[in-house]
Amino acid sequence: MDSLFPDLHGALTMIDRRILLASAMSLAAFSAFRWLGLGSARAGEKSAQKFEIEKTPAEWRKQLSAAQYNVLREAGTERPFTSPLNNEKRKGTFACAGCDLPLFSSDTKFDSGTGWPSFYQALPNAIVEKSDRSYMMVRTETLCRRCGGHLGHVFDDGPKPTGLRYCMNGLALTFKPADGSSS
């Protein structure tokens, strides 16, 4: 009987290896999709979180400029060195451009050299953080606590006393001078 199927053992071993390799590749691809947030679990993540101020996309588009909508509502990023707030040196408060919630004191602003307004500390109860796995990296996204608008990201390479760098999109912020004059 062995003479009728001389290569049967070798053929079964090759099939077993192919099945094992295909299974491993499928598992790796599935894990990568989940890690990158490309699966269905991430698709509704932001909408599942509730915020004090909730509006329809049409209402946000009516209130915000197209560029602000892209940043605040679609997690876009403005080009570096384009925000006038990057050079803002007056005393005051930086607030959310979507809902006017105070987010950062000018006392915590510093020049990070990145081209975006940067702060080493947010005001208490101003922002929420969530994991962002876009662009093949893991970062911490910052959102306005009240309206859920995307502000930017926070990194652990900032100055003392916190060691944090809140790298914010200027389009997501407004500035309110301490002296009460217009920005």
Sheet holding 118-119, edge to edge: 109-110, 118-119, 165-168, 150-155, 139-144, 127-132
pTM for this one? 0.73
Does position 16 have pLDDT exceeding 80, yes or no?
Answer: no
pLDDT band at residue 7 using 50, 70 and 90 as cut-offs: low
Task: Note the pLDDT of residue 179.
Answer: 82
141 in Cβ contact with 55 (< 8 Å): no
Tell me the C-alpha distance between 74 and 61, whole Å: 11
Does residue 77 register a pLDDT over 80? yes
Which CATH architecture describes the domain 55-177? Beta Complex (2.170)
In this prediction, residue 137 carries a pLDDT of 79
Element (H, E) at 31: helix 8-36
Which H, E and C letters describe 34-97, residue by residue? HHHCCCHHHHCHHHHCCCCCCCCHHHHHHHCCHHHHHHHHHCCCCCCCCCHHHHCCCCEEEEEC
Question: Which residue ranges make up each domain of the chain?
Answer: 8-41, 55-177
Whether residue 178 has pLDDT greater than 50? yes
pLDDT of residue 31: 56
- Which are the catalytic amino acids? 167
Does pLDDT of 75 surpass 80? yes
What letter represents residue 44's amino acid? Answer: G
Whole-number pLDDT of residue 44: 38
**In this predicted model, what pLDDT tens digit does every residue of 120-167 receive, in sequence order?**
999 999 999 998 887 777 889 999 999 999 999 999 999 999 999 999
pLDDT of the residue at 39: 41
Residue 170 to residue 174: CA distance in whole angstroms? 8
- Tell me the average pLDDT of the chain: 84
Question: pLDDT per residue over 95-116, tens digit each?
Answer: 999 999 999 999 999 999 999 9
The separation between CA 66 and the C-alpha centre of its own chain, rounded to angstroms, equals 19
In the structure encoding, which two tokens stand for residue 174, read together?
A: 């407004």
pLDDT tens-digit profile of 18-51? 666 666 666 666 555 555 554 433 333 445 689 9
Q: Which residues contact 154 (CB under 8 A, 6 or more apart)?
A: 129, 140, 142, 164, 165, 166, 167
- Look at residue 45 in the predicted model and tell me its pLDDT: 45
64-76 per-residue burial string, b: 16 or more CB within 10 A, e: under 16: beeebbbbbbebe
